[in-house]
């Protein structure tokens, strides 16, 4: 009998020691970066199909501004923007997939809020799209403003999003009774609203614009002018790997700053000889910016060359596809928008 | 002695390994959560939920707690399970008996129904009833009324609502009727055993069930009013019904799909049960002068039930668990409200999933407990 107990205790001790070592090692170095380089691809969580943000075409190629963030990280860490493994996630699954380590970046039109940032083991690294919640209605309903909403209105939306909370705030503060019809997947929301189950469809305005293209007859629907909430959408990483967090944050920042300095995918190489030191730093011709992350000095050049700057990404994915041709707040601060990132130096 | 040790030691080792594996995963989860700054705890249940739910049996809105939201989801799940079980049993018994009908047309239609519905995945059926049937329903303004008071529309089934006065007296009258029926039934059995006389128990019971509640209306001061749904214009093209009771289309589609699907399996249980009774039993019963109805009621069914009940219990459990597919069509059941919205808003995956799992386990165990009790009651009493 004793023999077994002794073996058991030593086994338990062994397991405990193993754990102690692994957590010790995690605190010191970017384990995520090391794992990513070992695997040879970036594991990225995206939506199940939102045109302009993350959408797969018939042959399985992912495009969108959210997708480009992951591609930028792949270009920076692995040298190839195509080395990304995309995992489509529902709103409900996304945070669990990230915290459990199934993905390393969540770039899925996710709103940055205090409770998400602080409470559930996540860290938001920046904003790649400034959005706000709006309402879509049928054109022939004659509704042109949310002030025409009446008691008994039914609103279709997704579960597990800030949308559900904003919707309640909006209707409750105006004293309007409403029927929330919340689906798990966006496609079903669109189908139900399109069938006439709901009088209005509410989500982020960019989402409304994108989903409108999926309706049987897109021209029959309008997005109302009011914006009822702030929805800063951005990429998210797991808490506890500060270096990885920095890599993702600055991959996004580099794209925005490159646009500010007029560096594009086509002129990036020639910018190496620019007179402006800020530009030279961004294309890796000066300074040692990559070293702080454990990356080489051309990491930012690769992002700009392979993915493009933020403006190129926006034009390719959102403007040229007719979703939101007007950049609105997602314009550089120098051009009247609110895109303003800390300097890369 | 040596033999005993040999028998016990492997068992102890197995037990220890099971414990170790459990401990390993718990420990692992704890370490991982600590590393990611996630705290474990059920404190969130008392926080304000701040989201609304489409359909609730109890008073609820976003100012209530997450615990209340859990209760809303649980009651909605139980509602679907309850209605689904009743409908699937009724359809199942009818179809099961129809499959044994000597009438070729009835027998074939029943067989077709069973083969068709049980061989299509349930989720697809739910989508069919929701999206295909939903699109086929009229908009509120185009709906024809049913008896002038009910409207079946794309936004739901709007029916009149009962407005009761002195509802408690009405309930007492029904309880009184049930008690007298039980007394009369016992008396009738004794009468038959002692004197061989038969009382028309069914007619008397039906009469009592009608007369006593009717009396409560006439002299008990009970009154019943109907609140009829009235159409209301929301905008140029959108309308809705107000007043009355609105049954959401999600609930209708889900119950329909669950009942039609599960009924096929119950029908097969019923058929198996009846066919399991040997022909000699029926012939013997007929030969002592029982009518065909009495043969079915007194000889065949009591024996068939013993075969039918255990597999049917399984189907009830399946129906209840399958009701969690509700999330796909926006019916606010436990999975959608609690393991969906609440999980997302709080981010407490482990806590909420564990509560939800435990809840389904409890519901299933309760159902099988009740069915086992019933099964024991009708089992052969060995003396």
pLDDT in tens, B217-272: 888 777 778 888 888 888 888 888 888 888 999 999 999 999 999 999 999 999 99
What distance lies between CA B229 and its chain's CA centroid? 27
| pLDDT tens by residue, A230-253 | 999 999 999 888 999 999 999 999
Helical (H) or strand (E) element with B125: helix B122-127
* 3 state DSSP class of A50: strand
Q: How many helices (H) and strands (E) does chain A have?
A: 12, 14
Q: Which structural domain, as residue segments, surrounds residue B14?
A: 2-41
Tell whether A207 and A323 lie within a shared domain: no
Asked whether residue B21 is domain-assigned, the answer is yes
Of the candidates A250, A251, A235, the one whose C-alpha atom is nearest the C-alpha of residue A303 is A251
Contact flag A121-B341 (C-beta cutoff 8 Å):
no
pLDDT at A13: 59
Asked whether residue A341 is domain-assigned, the answer is no
Helical (H) or strand (E) element with B261: helix B249-275
pLDDT at B250: 92
Burial B335-364 (b: 16+ CB within 10 A, else e): bbbbbbbbbbbbbbbebbeebbeebbeebb
Sign, Cα dihedral of B230, B233, B234, B239: positive
What is the ipTM, given to two decimal places? 0.78
* 3 state DSSP class of B26: helix
pLDDT at A138: 93
Better-scored residue on pLDDT, B369 or A162? B369
pLDDT at B94: 93
- Residue A300 CA to residue A40 CA, distance in Å, equals 19
Asked whether residue B193 is domain-assigned, the answer is no
Tell whether A255 and A115 lie within a shared domain: yes
Closest Cα in chain B, distance from residue A227 (Å) = 19
Tell whether A115 and A244 lie within a shared domain: yes
pLDDT at A162: 83
pLDDT at A2: 53
User: In which band, very low, low, confident or very high, does the pLDDT at A24 lie, cut at 50, 70 and 90?
Assistant: very low
Helical (H) or strand (E) element with B231: strand B230-233
Asked whether residue B9 is domain-assigned, the answer is yes
Asked which of A182-186, A312-316, B110-114, B179-183 is least confident by mean pLDDT, the reply is: A182-186
Rounded to an integer, the average pLDDT of B282-308 is 89
User: In which band, very low, low, confident or very high, does the pLDDT at B132 lie, cut at 50, 70 and 90?
Assistant: confident
Contact flag B135-A195 (C-beta cutoff 8 Å):
yes
CB A12 within 8 A of CB B20: yes
Tell whether A215 and A240 lie within a shared domain: no
pLDDT at B226: 81
CB B331 within 8 A of CB B344: no
Can you give the CATH number for the domain in which A317 is found? 3.40.190.10
Give the end-to-end CA distance of chain B in Å, rounded to a whole number. Answer: 41
Mutation target among A98, A160, A175 for the B interface, most CBs of B within 10 A: A160
Q: Taking the C-alpha atoms of B312, B84, B79 and A183 in order, what is their torsion angle to the nearest 10 degrees?
A: 120
| pLDDT for A39 beyond 60 | yes
Asked whether residue B137 is domain-assigned, the answer is no
Q: Which of A208, A229, A250 is the last residue of a domain?
A: A229
Tally the domains of chain A: 2
The residues with which B231 forms a beta bridge, in sequence order, are B241
What's the Cα-to-Cα distance from A299 to each of A79, A303, B353, rounded to whole Å?
A: 7, 7, 41
Asked whether residue A6 is domain-assigned, the answer is no
Rounded to an integer, the average pLDDT of B309-324 is 93
Contact flag B36-A159 (C-beta cutoff 8 Å):
no
Any chain B CB within 8 A of the CB of A99?
yes
Tell whether A279 and A255 lie within a shared domain: yes
Tell whether A90 and A150 lie within a shared domain: no
Of chain A, the percentage scoring pLDDT greater than 90 comes to 60
| pLDDT tens by residue, B105-125 | 999 999 999 999 999 999 999
Q: What's A87's DSSP letter? A: E
Of the candidates B43, B96, B298, B63, the one whose C-alpha atom is nearest the C-alpha of residue B192 is B298
* 3 state DSSP class of A294: coil
pTM: predicted TM-score of the whole model, two decimal places: 0.79
Residue in the structure block whose two tokens are 């560096």: A263
| pLDDT for A53 beyond 80 | yes
Of chain A, the percentage scoring pLDDT greater than 70 comes to 92
What's the Cα-to-Cα distance from A5 to each of A1, B10, B13, rounded to whole Å?
A: 7, 13, 10
Rounded to an integer, the average pLDDT of A318-338 is 90
| pLDDT for A26 beyond 50 | no
Q: Which of A175, A205, A229 is the last residue of a domain?
A: A229
User: In which band, very low, low, confident or very high, does the pLDDT at A10 lie, cut at 50, 70 and 90?
Assistant: low
Contact flag B38-A159 (C-beta cutoff 8 Å):
no
| pLDDT for A25 beyond 60 | no
pLDDT at B284: 93
Asked which of A249-258, B34-43, B202-211 is least confident by mean pLDDT, the reply is: B34-43
Q: Which structural domain, as residue segments, surrounds residue A82?
A: 31-130+233-335
Q: Who contacts A99 (Cβ-Cβ below 8 Å, separation ≥6)?
A: A120, A121, A122, A238, B36, B38, B349
Tell whether A126 and A238 lie within a shared domain: yes
Q: Which of A229, A253, A278 is the last residue of a domain?
A: A229
| pLDDT for B333 beyond 80 | yes
Of the candidates A278, A302, A231, the one whose C-alpha atom is nearest the C-alpha of residue A78 is A302
Tell whether A103 and A57 lie within a shared domain: yes
Asked whether residue B280 is domain-assigned, the answer is no
User: In which band, very low, low, confident or very high, does the pLDDT at A103 lie, cut at 50, 70 and 90?
Assistant: very high
Tell whether A320 and A203 lie within a shared domain: no
Chains A & B: contacts with CB separation below 8 Å:
155
User: In which band, very low, low, confident or very high, does the pLDDT at B96 lie, cut at 50, 70 and 90?
Assistant: very high
Residues 217-246 of chain A whose Cβ lies under 8 A from any Cβ of chain B = 238-240
B249 C-beta neighbours (distance < 10 Å), count: 26
pLDDT at B195: 85
Asked whether residue B317 is domain-assigned, the answer is no
Asked whether residue A340 is domain-assigned, the answer is no
| pLDDT for A16 beyond 70 | no
| pLDDT for A65 beyond 90 | yes
Sign, Cα dihedral of B42, B46, B49, B53: positive
Structural tokens at position B169: 């007296």
The residues with which A54 forms a beta bridge, in sequence order, are A50
Tell whether A150 and A99 lie within a shared domain: no
The residues with which B158 forms a beta bridge, in sequence order, are B151, B246
| pLDDT tens by residue, A272-289 | 999 999 999 999 888 888
Tally the domains of chain B: 1
Closest Cα in chain A, distance from residue B345 (Å) = 6
pLDDT at B146: 81
| pLDDT for A21 beyond 60 | no
């Amino acid at each position: 009998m004793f023999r077994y107990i002794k073996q058991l205790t030593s086994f338990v001790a062994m397991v405990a020691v193993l754990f102690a070592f692994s957590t010790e090692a995690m605190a010191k170095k970017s384990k995520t970066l090391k794992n990513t380089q070992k695997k040879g691809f970036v594991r990225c969580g995206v939506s199940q199909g939102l045109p302009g943000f993350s959408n797969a075409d018939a042959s399985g190629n992912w495009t969108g501004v959210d997708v480009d963030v992951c591609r930028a990280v792949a270009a920076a860490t692995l040298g190839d923007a195509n080395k990304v493994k995309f995992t489509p996630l529902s709103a409900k699954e996304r945070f669990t997939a990230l915290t459990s380590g199934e993905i390393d970046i969540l770039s899925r039109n996710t709103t940055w809020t205090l409770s998400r940032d602080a409470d559930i083991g996540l860290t938001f690294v920046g904003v790649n799209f400034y959005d706000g919640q709006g309402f879509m209605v049928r054109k022939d309903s004659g509704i042109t403003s949310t002030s025409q909403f009446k008691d008994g209105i039914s609103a279709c939306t997704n579960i597990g999003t800030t949308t559900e909370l904003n919707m309640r705030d909006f209707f409750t503060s105006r004293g309007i009774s409403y029927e929330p019809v919340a689906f798990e997947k966006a496609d079903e929301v669109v189908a139900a609203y399109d069938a006439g189950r709901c009088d209005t469809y509410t989500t982020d305005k960019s989402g409304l614009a994108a989903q409108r293209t999926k309706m049987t007859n897109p021209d029959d629907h309008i997005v109302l002018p009011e914006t009822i909430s702030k929805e800063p959408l951005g990429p998210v990483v797991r808490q506890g790997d500060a270096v990885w967090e920095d890599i993702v944050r600055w991959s996004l920042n580099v794209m925005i700053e490159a646009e500010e300095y007029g560096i594009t995918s086509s002129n990036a190489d020639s910018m190496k000889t620019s007179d402006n030191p800020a530009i030279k730093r961004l294309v890796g011709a000066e300074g040692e910016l990559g070293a702080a992350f454990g990356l080489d000095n051309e990491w930012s050049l690769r992002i700009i060359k392979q993915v493009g700057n933020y403006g190129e990404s926006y034009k390719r994915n959102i403007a040229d596809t007719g979703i939101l041709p007007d950049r609105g707040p997602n314009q550089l601060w120098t051009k009247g928008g609110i895109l303003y990132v800390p300097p890369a130096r | 002695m040596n033999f005993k040790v040999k028998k016990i030691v492997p068992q102890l080792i197995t037990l220890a390994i099971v414990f170790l594996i459990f401990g390993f995963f718990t420990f692992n989860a704890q370490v991982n959560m600590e590393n990611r700054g996630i705290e474990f705890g059920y404190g969130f249940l008392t926080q304000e939920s701040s989201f609304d739910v489409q359909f609730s049996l109890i008073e609820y809105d976003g100012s209530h707690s997450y615990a209340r939201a859990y209760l809303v989801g649980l009651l909605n799940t139980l509602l679907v399970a309850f209605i689904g079980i009743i409908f699937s049993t009724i359809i199942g018994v009818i179809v099961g008996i129809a499959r044994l009908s000597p009438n070729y047309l009835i027998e074939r239609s029943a067989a077709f129904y069973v083969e068709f519905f049980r061989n299509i995945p349930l989720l697809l059926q739910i989508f069919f009833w929701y999206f295909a049937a939903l699109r086929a329903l009229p908009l509120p303004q185009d709906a024809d009324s049913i008896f002038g008071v009910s409207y079946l529309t794309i936004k739901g089934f709007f029916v009149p609502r009962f407005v009761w006065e002195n509802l408690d007296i009405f309930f007492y009258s029904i309880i009184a009727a049930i008690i007298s029926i039980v007394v009369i039934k016992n008396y009738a059995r004794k009468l038959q055993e002692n004197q061989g006389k038969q009382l028309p128990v069914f007619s008397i019971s039906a009469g009592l069930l009608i007369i006593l509640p009717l009396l409560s209306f006439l002299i008990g001061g009970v009154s019943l009013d109907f609140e009829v749904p009235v159409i209301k214009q929301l905008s140029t093209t959108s309308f809705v019904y107000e007043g009355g009771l609105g049954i959401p289309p999600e609930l209708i589609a889900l119950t329909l799909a669950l009942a039609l699907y599960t009924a096929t399996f119950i029908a097969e249980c019923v058929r198996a049960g009846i066919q399991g009774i040997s022909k000699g039993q029926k012939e013997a019963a007929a030969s002592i002068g029982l009518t065909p109805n009495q043969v079915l009621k007194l000889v065949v069914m009591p024996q068939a039930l013993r075969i039918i009940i255990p597999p049917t219990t399984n189907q009830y459990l399946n129906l209840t668990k399958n009701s969690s597919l509700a999330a796909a069509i926006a019916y606010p059941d436990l999975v959608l409200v609690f393991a969906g919205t609440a999980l997302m808003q709080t981010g407490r995956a482990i806590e909420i999933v564990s509560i939800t799992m435990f809840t389904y386990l409890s519901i299933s165990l309760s159902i099988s407990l009740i069915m086992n009790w019933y099964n024991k009651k009708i089992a052969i009493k060995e003396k």
